Chain A
Amino acid sequence: MDAIVLARMQFAANITFHILFPSINIALGWMLLFFRWRWLKTQDQAWLQAYRFWTKVFALSFALGVVSGITMSFQFGTNWPGFMEKAGNIAGPLLGYEVLTAFFLEASFLGVMLFGHGRVSERVHAWATFLVAFGTTLSAFWILSLNSWMQTPQGHEIINGEFFAKDWWAIIFNPSLPYRLSHKLLASGLTVAFFLAGVSAWQMLKGKTQASTAKVMRVGLTLGALLIPLQIFVGDQHGLNTLAHQPAKVAAMEGVWQTEKGAPLLLFAWPNAQTRSNDFALAIPKAASLILTHDPEGEIRGLNEFQGAHPPVAPLFFGFRIMVGLGVLMLAFSWLGLWLYRRCAWRIEALPRWFLWGLTGMTFSGWLATVAGWYVTEIARQPFIVYGLLRTADVASSTPAPMIAATLMGYVTLYLGLIVAYISVIKYMAEKGLPSESVPSSAATSLNPHRSPQS
């Protein structure tokens, strides 16, 4: 395999692994703040228990996010040295602002948040929790600003092949940022919603419920039910924005090989790059035009207009359908779940077992949908690294292919091992429950007599 493909695989492996953990932590940070607030407000130990358990999950996810994030900051240089040489004037400051304003904030206050209760006042501790949540969100803002600029570049000028900033405001708030940022933040919310509900369902199935389980389940289902309609709306708007700026991407996602009016929505098909058409298509007539142009006879530009400069069709076509399919499942599960849960008066033990099994299966549905969506948007930028302006092949490293292949094997082995370890530790923690010994004296009450050895 040639070095560029290997370098892309390596970067993709790293960024795929990395995105899993911020996807959890961006929203989980705010959830922790919510649990904490509920506890202070109601003095109900169950909220404190929820806070403590999910803080551990947060710490674990944060560690995985930090180490894979460090890796990424190096891989910009090891894998795409040309990108920094040519677009460093734009990409550098955006990444720099991420580190300066966000990364340090979260990492520094994380220690206080995790281990500082009892050492600082309640107020300072609440602030530390807030700053960690705020930091993770701000971090997402800067990273997505750069990513969006690479998709819809503006505010720069190119002199001798090198990018120079002309208008920072235009660069940061480029046309696709509002859509991509809200899409990503909602995706994080949904990832956490199903993570909370899924773990709670598993605890119920295994008979390991605690006082907090029923509450966390309710929070998860409610959050999912609230966010998924919003996400569908934002996703639609994001699609329209993409159609305006990157029509080739939409054509590949929808499998539109030839420009057509009244294009059908393909529920299933097998895109064939040889014949440049779809095999085995199952379609709803005119629906793609209706969704994308809000007019059943609207024209969608096909891939024939972008010969030689459009991305591969199959991964986009399928990735997009996996993401949307998971979104539909999320809608079904959260709305049905909320209705069922309300009908049994928020008693988690009264929820039907088939539904609990279903929710357990959905525990990491947010991860899958997120990764599928990212593959769609990133692969769709190819063959460019900065859309329409800079080709990926022109910025690749001169590192010999065997060395990339060897390190790629190392990374992938480690990542797979870590994902397995992460999921099995979450499972173990969920089944073990939370030792109450770690409750500080001010909070430890006779309400919680089941003391077990601290881990």
Chain B
Amino acid sequence: MSAAEWMPLVFLGLMGLALLIYVVLDGYDLGVGLLMLGASEEQQDRMVASIGPFWDANETWLVLGVGLLLVAFPKAHGLILQALYLPVALMLLGLMLRGVAFDFRVKAQAQWKPLWNAAFMGGSALAAAAQGWMLARYITGFAEGWAYTAFAAVIALALAAAYALLGAAWLIMKMEGELQALAVRRAKLAWPAVVLGLLLVSLITPMVSPTVAARWFSLPEFIALLPIPLMTALSLLALRGLLNSHRVLGKLCWAPFALMVVVMLLGFLGLAYSLFPFVIIDRMTVWQAAAASDSLRFILWGAALTVPAILGYTVFAYRVFWGKSGELKYA
């Protein structure tokens, strides 16, 4: 395989990895933002404290994902972002509102705190829903029509529910006592919406794209791929079972989060299989969208050196704040 053939694949893999890590990491902190709705002020403070040290770096994965799209596939970058102009703008407004509310809610005068809390929750919801909308538009190849709009609306809600479930799993892991119990109750609420969303994506994507249908519903591929939906279903069922068990409050508090990560990983693999080798489904392949080989080679060196380092210090940062989360203090 020549460099012009394999390098775009490497970058596709890296971009996928960055986006997967983003969805998991920012997913849980956006989810925590959604779950603040209806919590007491003291609970809200503790919820924010559990994500405080991480959110900046979590969002950086989105910049890396879109950055790699720009670096490696400049021709697709413009097309995709133009097609998603409005949801991108809404997502950015949401991310901005919640990102700044993080700091303002504790630094501004007490009378403004409810406003910044609302900005935090509203921004999280807007960003999560906009991302779901973008995902739906992307996997249907930006097709127009009321049915596609409805599909996008449903997926917007489903992704928000998935983030809420992930956020609840994070809180189950990082909290104790009353707040942990609250997180279990919220997780139970979010679970059916996540299942419904996943079912819808799995059914509707092959219906709207003959390419995807042909990929999944032909033999022997169908049998070979069966583990993906089966393992997803098993993970989700195990997760639901765990939520009823008291052990989730103790020794197994990490398990719901781990199972959600598995579900997201499988969902990601399923999507990747549906789309590959297209960057824009049925329209543009990775090779058509790729930047010049010299440019890819130049950045590949940097990525080979820095991505392991980034992963290393991300793990370091999480280890520093390992275990149950306390009160957030500048120290």
Contact = CB atoms under 8 A, between A and B. Distances in A.
Interface of A: 52, 55-56, 59-60, 62-64, 66-71, 73-74, 76-78, 80-82, 84-85, 88-93, 95-97, 99-101, 103-105, 107-112, 114-120, 164-165, 168, 397-399, 403, 407, 410-411, 414, 418, 421, 424-425, 428-429, 438, 440, 454-455
B40 interface: no
A76 B329 contact: no
Contact of A67 (B64, B71, B75, B99): B99
A78 B103 contact: no
B302 A89 contact: no
Nearest to B66: A73
A229 B72 CA distance: 43
A255 to B, nearest CB: 37
Contacts of B316: 108, 112
Contacts of B314: 104, 108
Contacts of B273: none
Contact of A73 (B53, B70, B78): B70
B150 interface: no
Contacts of A440: 331
Nearest to B315: A108
Given A77-B82, A81-B81, A88-B75, 16 more contacts: A69-B63, A71-B96, A73-B67, A77-B80, A84-B70, A88-B74, A88-B291, A89-B295, A93-B299, A95-B70, A105-B313, A111-B56, A111-B57, A115-B52, A421-B104, A438-B329
B78 A84 contact: yes
B321 interface: yes
Contact of A78 (B89, B97, B331): B89
Given A97-B302, A99-B67, A108 B310 contact: yes
Nearest to A124: B320
B144 interface: no
Contact of A438 (B68, B303, B320, B330): B330
Contact of B292 (A55, A77, A164): A164
B108 A81 contact: no
Contacts of B320: 111-112, 116, 119-120
A428 B329 contact: no
B2 to A, nearest CB: 17
Nearest to A455: B106
A89 B74 CA distance: 8
Interface string B152-176: 0000000000000000000000000
Nearest to B322: A119
B92 A74 contact: yes
Contacts of B66: 73-74, 77
B292 A100 contact: no
